[in-house]
Structure 1
Amino acid sequence: MLKLWLTPLWLLALGVTLGLAILALLFGLLWVLNRKAAEGVWAAVSESVLMPILWLGVGMVALFAFAYPQMPTDQVIESLWRLPSMGTQTVTQTIEPRSEDVEVPFAMIAEEVVAYRIESDQDLRVAAAPELAYSRPAAVVQGGEPYEWNTKSKLPRGLTGEVDAVYLTNDGDAPANVTLSFTSEARTPEVKQIPITALSVVGIVLAYLAVRLVAPRASTISAATAKEAISQPLFLLFAIGGAIALVCYIYIPYNTFGEDVKMLKDSGLSTIMVLSILFAVWTASVSVADEIEGKTALTLLSKPISRRDFILGKYLGILWSALLLFVILGVILMGCVSYKVVYDARETSNPTPDWQLCNAEMVSTAPGLVLAFLETGMLAAISVAISTRLPMLPNLLICGAVYVLGHLTPLIVQSGVGQNEFVKFFGRLLSVVLPMLDHLNIQAAIAGGNAVPFAYLGWVTLYALVYITVAMLVALLLFEDRDLA
């Protein structure tokens, strides 16, 4: 039972381990080429919020090493090694009339083939080895009628073991123009998440270092802001309270007739998002508004630091501390979702699920975490802009109103179509001024197990970045002429 729900976490830990190994390799190369630059990178990382994230990564490495003997290691490593060769391969060939056993190189493992399609304008026989075109053909293609096979087809696969080539026999009296298309997938398709996890770990660290290189002064302020934020009791309260709530969600009877896993995902994502937004807004008020009111900002700006560096640094510090909260609670949520699948099966006396089902449910929460983080970033930018002029309480009220209206804007716009002109105008105004947060709210789809396309994530990320940029420009304009004396 432990192995079932722990295997998905082990795959996640394997991805983190590979990511940290890549970072260690890059750091080692930098140390050899430029030791001074390597020392600067280490100093930048050690004094930032990346250090707690890396320690969490080390914990995942320990989980990977501890669970290694009990996991399907050989199966996973083989699929991971074969992953670059997966996908669709297409070959076009012309076969002379009445030709037998024309070899077409096509390296593959038959058991990895999930679908293939063969098109020919002449009658054609396809075999996996010479001299089998008539006795044991893999496929018989009628001229002008494509031959298709997939894992749902009732037809036999026709291929077995390792295949280096296929052999074509043209039964027609004219040359055959043949197109072969084979689609392969790893025997353990879950390994696709491993390189994505590794690249995410590497991307977070490189993004921090890139920002520090481009804006060193703002990065210095962001590091101090993030360290101050995570040292506050509120961060510890939200991290511990959120973790306890996520674990408790496992044992709450939702009375949903077998849909408790979906409810857990929806409740967990909402909990993480709300806690992160509250933490970001509170940190913006304390870090920006209180420093302005307490004249601390004036002292800081008396040094060679511009107002732009001050605002940008504060926002980045808030974002990095919110990211740490997301990483902590996100990993816990994934573990809870994986365990919930097994727990529900045991409680309802259903057949014991396999680890692949636990993994599918766990991985489906990742897009929701990304979108929730983007929403937190947008509201944090708004909060920073408000904090340049107003104290904590008005900031909380305004951000709360923006959160509610941002999710209700599509409904307001739809209610105004063909009805009251004022409602229509007000809805369109809100849709222009306020962020369309409902675009980032797809918990229902994620909880239902529906896949979130990468294209959708890309467009939503672009929208969030554009809105954050606009909000930060407004913050700079509001802070530019603010009297700090």
Structure 2
Amino acid sequence: MTNLVFIILLSLFQGLAAIPWLLALEVLDFSTKSSRGRSIGLLGQILGGCVVILAPVLWIGGGETVARFYGTILQIQVVMGVGLLAPMALAPLWPKGASIAYATQREATRQPLFWLIVSGGFLVLVVSLVLPYFTYGEDYKMMYELGFDIVLFATMVFAALLASISVNEDIEGRTALTIISKPLSRRDFLLGKLAGIELSGFLLLFVLGTIFQLFLLFRQGIERMDPVPDPAWVASAIDRFNLGGSAESLLKGLAGWLALTAEVLPSLVLCLCQVSIITAISVALATRFPMMVTLPVIATIFFLAHLAPVLVSTVGGSGDAAGTGVVQMLKFTVGAFHAVLPDLELFRVNIAILGDTQLTVSGYWLHVGWSVVYAVIYASVPLLMGLVLFEGRDLG
């Protein structure tokens, strides 16, 4: 009986996780009396459908594989709920900017571009799952780093394109003039656009990141890696609630999923920091330049910002040639690029982190915390420049 109750609760929890994004998409609406009754009935149908459909699947096919797919769907729903409800959460504090952010995000997620990049990223992640890396036992580490690069690159391409489309085309098409003619400042317009693009990037990044997390578990099975021991709370819960069979397997599978989520989350936050900096630069450029100018500039900044720290360390260790004029000029040039451009290598998910070096969880999160501070400070600089450029632009 306890096993059945546990599986029914898991089924209901999946339905409850859908409520936030259904509210954000206005599928559920409790604002008026007439819509409230319809929404309550629809919610009951959703929860009942989850129990009718999911409970037999979890009961019959309960195991680690089913638990992984359950965790993937649940995590994607949580990401959608957080990303889509964020503009509504901003509304009481910043009503004008939140409305721009909400409209920008809705427009972005409905565009074919969003789904095209999600599909393309998914296909490339599938290739990375089955690709032989020929690394003599280090294939998992290579896939780990490559997967984050795929997720990061897909999100940055989307954010740069969306900034050019959403900001520059609104300005050139006089849409911005129409909006700003209302009681809305240019600052609220530009910051709202940035917030909407950032939230759209958050959705894309974490949806692809969740799919990549599922593929990591599959790769562990392909590599036949040693299973991770179950946490102590799993054994305690099994004994306390007398779980067995499918319920026990599901609980162990979900515990493994949560452990991997805790491992992957800080790396996704680092990727989001890098996306935020590139998005801020893209929005600033889009206030003055069209897409054909913005995209090459962003690509150049991205590659130079990753290359400059490597060149600084290389030129700094040039040995006997360090005193020559050519090397001194190279040092100055590289140092100038390194000082002006963001240090995007700071946000890389490096193999060194995944290797034999023992890095504590608190140490890694401390690094992530300082990286977030760095990203916020550095993203503020191009954003302020973009505000200055936008304030001085004639929209007429």
TM-score by length of 2: 0.69
- Structure 2 unaligned segments of length 5 or more: list them: 1-6, 22-28, 36-45, 65-74, 231-254, 317-321
Post-superposition offset of 1:392: 0.4
Separation in 2, partners of 1:273, 1:20: 26
**What do the CA deviations read for 1:360-405 (whole angstroms, capped 9, x no partner)?**
6664332221111110111000000000111101111111111111
Other-structure match for 1:366 = 265
Matches within 5 A, 1:422-461: 422-448=329-355, 453-461=364-372
Kindly indicate whether the alpha-carbon contact (under 8 Å) linking 1:239 and 1:325 is maintained by their aligned counterparts in 2. Answer: yes
> Is 1:300 aligned to residue 207 of structure 2?
no
Distance 1:477-1:248 versus aligned 2 partners, 3 A rule: same
> Is 1:331 aligned to residue 210 of structure 2?
yes
**What do the CA deviations read for 1:397-416 (whole angstroms, capped 9, x no partner)?**
11111111111222233345
Post-superposition offset of 1:431: 2.9
Separation in 2, partners of 1:206, 1:227: 11
**What do the CA deviations read for 1:276-300 (whole angstroms, capped 9, x no partner)?**
0000000000011111122221112
Query: Bigger CA drift: 268-277 or 407-416?
Result: 407-416
TM-score by length of 1: 0.57
Separation in 2, partners of 1:445, 1:313: 38
Q: Aligned with 1:258: secondary structure?
A: coil
Other-structure match for 1:470 = 381
**What do the CA deviations read for 1:135-188 (whole angstroms, capped 9, x no partner)?**
xxxxxxxxxxxxxxxxxxxxxxxxxxxxxxxxxxxxxxxxxxxxxxxxxxxxxx
Post-superposition offset of 1:428: 3.4
Greater strand percent: which structure?
Answer: 1
**What do the CA deviations read for 1:53-74 (whole angstroms, capped 9, x no partner)?**
xx9xx99xx97995478369xx
Separation in 2, partners of 1:483, 1:250: 50
Separation in 2, partners of 1:65, 1:326: 32
Q: Identity rate of aligned residues, in percent?
A: 34
Other-structure match for 1:482 = 393
Kindly indicate whether the alpha-carbon contact (under 8 Å) linking 2:148 and 2:349 is maintained by their aligned counterparts in 1. Answer: no
Distance 1:21-1:451 versus aligned 2 partners, 3 A rule: farther
**What do the CA deviations read for 1:35-60 (whole angstroms, capped 9, x no partner)?**
x9x849xx9xxxxxxxxxxx9xx99x
Q: Aligned with 1:364: secondary structure?
A: helix
Query: Bigger CA drift: 284-293 or 200-209?
Result: 200-209
Matches within 5 A, 1:84-483: 208-345=87-224, 353=227, 363-417=262-316, 419=323, 420-448=327-355, 453-483=364-394
Post-superposition offset of 1:430: 2.5
Distance 1:333-1:405 versus aligned 2 partners, 3 A rule: same
Separation in 1, partners of 2:339, 2:193: 26
Alignment-mate amino acid for residue 370 of structure 1? V
Separation in 2, partners of 1:201, 1:233: 18
- Structure 1 unaligned segments of length 5 or more: list them: 1-9, 25-35, 44-54, 73-195
Separation in 2, partners of 1:209, 1:483: 31
Greater helix percent: which structure?
Answer: 2
Separation in 1, partners of 2:265, 2:228: 20
Alignment-mate amino acid for residue 422 of structure 1? M
Kindly indicate whether the alpha-carbon contact (under 8 Å) linking 2:87 and 2:101 is maintained by their aligned counterparts in 1. Answer: no
Greater relative contact order (Cα 8 A, min sep 6): structure 1 or 2?
Answer: 2
Q: Once superposed, what is the RMSD of the aligned Cα atoms?
A: 3.9
Kindly indicate whether the alpha-carbon contact (under 8 Å) linking 2:194 and 2:283 is maintained by their aligned counterparts in 1. Answer: yes
Post-superposition offset of 1:213: 2.1
Aligned length: 318
Kindly indicate whether the alpha-carbon contact (under 8 Å) linking 2:284 and 2:383 is maintained by their aligned counterparts in 1. Answer: yes
Separation in 2, partners of 1:236, 1:362: 24
Separation in 2, partners of 1:394, 1:369: 29
Distance 1:18-1:201 versus aligned 2 partners, 3 A rule: farther
Separation in 2, partners of 1:65, 1:370: 36
Distance 1:432-1:65 versus aligned 2 partners, 3 A rule: farther
Distance 1:466-1:432 versus aligned 2 partners, 3 A rule: same
Other-structure match for 1:178 = none
